[in-house]
Amino acid sequence: MIKTKKRGLLIVVSAPSGSGKGTIIKELLKKETNCWLSVSTTTREKRDNDIPGETYDFVSVIDFQKKIADGYFLEYTKYADNYYGTPRKFIFDKLEQGRDVILEIEIEGANNIKKLIPEAIFIFIMPPSLQVLKERLEKRGTESKEKILKRFKQAYKEINEVSKYNYVVINDEVDLAVNKIQAIIMAEKLRVDRIEEVFLNSTEESIHEELLSPQKFNNDDIKDKLNEK
């Protein structure tokens, strides 16, 4: 009886560095086969666990600036002295195909997306505590103490931006966090504003007319109509 919009959901996921959003998204993609992760472009240095083309599209500052000039990005921002950008064409192509698109981007980038596409879904991943966040950043072993301190201060600032998001998910257990995001996706797909059309077949229309008739209706007549269907 209901026809819903085919267009996919645009899901923006942000979190302070070290909150585990990458791990959550990786596990989410295993369960939500209709989801597609948009690969952001960045100028930051590649880490040992990075896979070019999967975690990020790594480019030089010069190449990044050229892409800006070419209108390649839907939005871009500078975070922790590095550029990050969201590709435009791939995202809209996937949405039109009915795929749900996940953007794993920083706070400023999310704010840019909100101005451009306010109907997108904004999810903030929160660490269980700042102490746990500090331990996760130190455990990486990929950055100097100065850079860790800078990221920690940035994280503290970002947590105060949570009110700008639609949902907040605390990452105390990865599986539980993934389940919560799945529930969010399901709820969003059941929203009334995604309904394009409500339609009835001839039998349902005739029952409707029968109920509206000023004459007393017969339950047996309605049962017969339903059985005909």
Maximal CA-CA distance, the chain? 83
Q: What is the CATH number of the domain that holds 20?
A: 3.40.50.300
Does residue 90 sit in the same domain as residue 115? Answer: yes
Structure tokens at 94: 């996937």
Residues 88 and 184 both lie in one domain: yes
Number of domains in the chain: 2
Instruction: Tell whether 23 and 102 lie within a shared domain.
Output: yes
Query: Residues 94, 141: one domain?
Result: yes
Cα separation, 184 vs 179, whole angstroms: 9
Residues ≥6 apart with Cβ < 8 Å to 113: 10, 12, 74, 75, 86, 103, 105, 120
pLDDT digits (tens, 9 = 90+) for 105-125: 888 889 999 999 999 999 999
Domain match, 123 and 219 both:
no
Residues 151 and 217 in one domain: no
Question: Assign residue 71 a region: left if phi > 0, alpha if psi is -120 to 50, beta otherwise?
Answer: left
Instruction: State how far the alpha carbon of 84 is from the alpha carbons of 68, 81, 182, 211, in Å.
Output: 11, 10, 26, 60
One domain, residues 169 and 211: no
Per-residue pLDDT tens for 131-152? 877 777 777 666 677 777 777 7
Answer yes or no: do 164 and 63 share one domain: yes
**For residue 93, is pLDDT > 80?**
yes
* Whether residues 17 and 43 fall in one domain: yes
168 and 208 housed in the same domain: no
Whether residue 90 is predicted with pLDDT greater than 70 in this model: the reply is: yes
Together in a domain, 66 and 166: yes
What's the domain range around 221? 199-228
- CB contact at 8 A, 36 and 48: no
Does 37 share its domain with 148? Answer: yes
